[in-house]
């Protein structure tokens, strides 16, 4: 799917820039950094596209509504 390739290309580019900018320094824990960087904007966009409907947003994301609610609270989006 083209969108998945576009998203992956953005992540590749961002990670390569991140490493280039480190200039030899040790990176932060990358896994958690990337997940935090991607999850919040993903939740914001999907919730906006679902017009605030958390049930619809959870379906779009493929996660349980309670999981979505917890993430929204964690990111202070509600």
Which residue segments constitute the domains of the chain, with CATH numbers given?
A: 2-74 (1.10.10.60)
What is the spatial distance between Cα 14 and Cα 34, in angstroms, rounded to a whole number?
Answer: 10
Nearest Cα to 71, choosing from 51, 49, 50, 41?
41
pLDDT digits (tens, 9 = 90+) for 10-49: 999 999 999 999 988 999 899 999 999 999 999 999 999 9
What is the spatial distance between Cα 4 and Cα 78, in angstroms, rounded to a whole number?
Answer: 28
pTM metric for this prediction: 0.80
What is the spatial distance between Cα 58 and Cα 73, in angstroms, rounded to a whole number?
Answer: 14
Structure-block tokens of residue 3: 């969108």
Q: Which residues contact 55 (CB under 8 A, 6 or more apart)?
A: 65
């Amino acid at each position: 799917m083209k969108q998945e390739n576009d998203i992956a290309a953005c992540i590749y580019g961002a990670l390569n820039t991140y490493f280039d900018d480190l200039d030899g320094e040790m990176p932060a824990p990358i896994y958690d950094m990337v997940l935090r960087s991607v999850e919040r904007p993903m939740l914001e966009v999907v919730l906006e596209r679902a017009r605030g409907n958390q049930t619809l947003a959870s379906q779009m994301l493929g996660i349980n509504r309670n999981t979505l609610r917890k993430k929204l609270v964690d990111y202070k989006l509600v």
